[in-house]
Amino acid sequence: MQPIGPLMIEHRLIEKMIGVIRKEIARSEKGGDITIEFIDAAVDFIRIYADKCHHGKEEDILFRDLNSKELPQELKHIMDELVEEHQLGRKAVADLVEAKKKYQQGERQALTTIIECLRYMADFYPKHIEKEDTRFFIPCMAYFTPEEKDAMLNEEYEFDKNLIHQIYREKIKFWTIEAD
């Protein structure tokens, strides 16, 4: 399997979550409140799975290795766009978390910001994924030897294997600091 295989498989799960987010937006537009539990679940999924896991592998493995290749300007430009889009996605999640805090403090108008942030993600991720799937991942694989592809794939598996431990070390560190 090429290294892009797992990344594209991850895209399919992200797309499913975007479908859930869209349903929640539609439900709220019909008069239902968005629950704090849903916001927390969406934030957790986007931060952990889409960003730390998926974007982490792209930025720390694929993009790193592509930086050592003589890519055409078009692919370099797309890679720069993708990194910028990852940063925009992180900002949208941070804005969602901030709006959730205000909503929990009784600021009902923060619900508008929550919906805007969720709508942004629902619009952002499908376009971002389409760009990666059709205009970036497949053309980039031509710049790697079979051995380089195997090495990246093995590194992606190691990345996944270590991710849960990294996440909970960070949580324990945070909780320890908070407790002091």
> pLDDT by residue (tens digit) across 117-150?
999 999 999 999 999 999 999 999 999 999 999 9
Q: What's the CA angle centered on 56, arms 55 and 61, to 5 degrees? A: 110
Q: Is the dihedral of CA 23, 41, 89, 97 positive or negative?
A: positive
Q: Where are the domains of the chain?
A: 4-179
Cα(65)–Cα(141) distance, rounded to whole angstroms?
Answer: 11
Q: Could you tell me what percentage of the chain is helix, strand and coil, using 3-state DSSP and rounding each to the nearest 5?
A: 85, 0, 15
- Could you read off the pLDDT of 104-117 as tens digits, one per residue? 999 989 999 999 99
Coil, strand or helix at 107: coil
Query: What is residue 169's predicted lDDT score, i.e. its pLDDT?
Result: 84
Q: Taking residues 169-176, what's their average pLDDT? A: 78
- How much of the chain exceeds pLDDT 70, in percent? 96
What's the CATH architecture for 4-179? Up-down Bundle (1.20)
Cα(115)–Cα(76) distance, rounded to whole angstroms?
Answer: 34
pTM exceeding 0.85: yes
